[in-house]
């Protein structure tokens, strides 16, 4: 089993880098409630064998992270919003439904 970057005695340089990547990916938005997130949570807790991988880590607000207490949340209240990589500027495209001509 891989050794965790987060130690029981506190954070490490490696953990701080992982944490920054997760918060950036999730846009500082809590996976569970959608509020501002300043911490990172393991979906599968370390105590249950969860690893420090990007697919097992999510941004979480302090309240949600600490209320979880080593247990599992069944499902998030608000799904995380994906990071947009582009911003199209073409405003001539209409997304309205049109009726086909008969």
Domain ranges of the chain: 13-68
CATH number at 13-68: 1.10.30.50
Could you tell me which residues come within 8 angstroms of residue 39 by beta carbon, excluding any fewer than 6 positions away? 19, 59, 60, 61, 62, 65
Residue 37 backbone zone (phi > 0: left; psi -120 to 50: alpha; other: beta)? beta
Record the pTM: 0.60
The tokens for 60 are 């979480």
Length reported for the chain = 102
Structure confidence by residue, pLDDT tens digits, 60-100: 999 998 887 655 555 555 555 555 555 555 555 555 555 66
């Amino acid at each position: 089993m891989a050794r965790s970057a987060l130690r029981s005695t506190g954070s490490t340089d490696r953990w701080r880098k992982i944490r920054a990547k997760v918060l950036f990916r999730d846009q500082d938005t809590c996976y569970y409630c959608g509020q501002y997130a300043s911490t990172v949570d393991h979906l599968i807790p370390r105590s249950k064998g969860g690893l420090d991988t990007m697919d097992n880590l999510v941004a979480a607000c302090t309240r949600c992270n600490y209320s979880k207490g080593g247990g599992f949340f069944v499902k998030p209240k608000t799904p995380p919003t994906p990071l947009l990589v582009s911003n199209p500027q073409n405003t001539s495209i209409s997304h309205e439904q049109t009726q086909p001509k008969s």
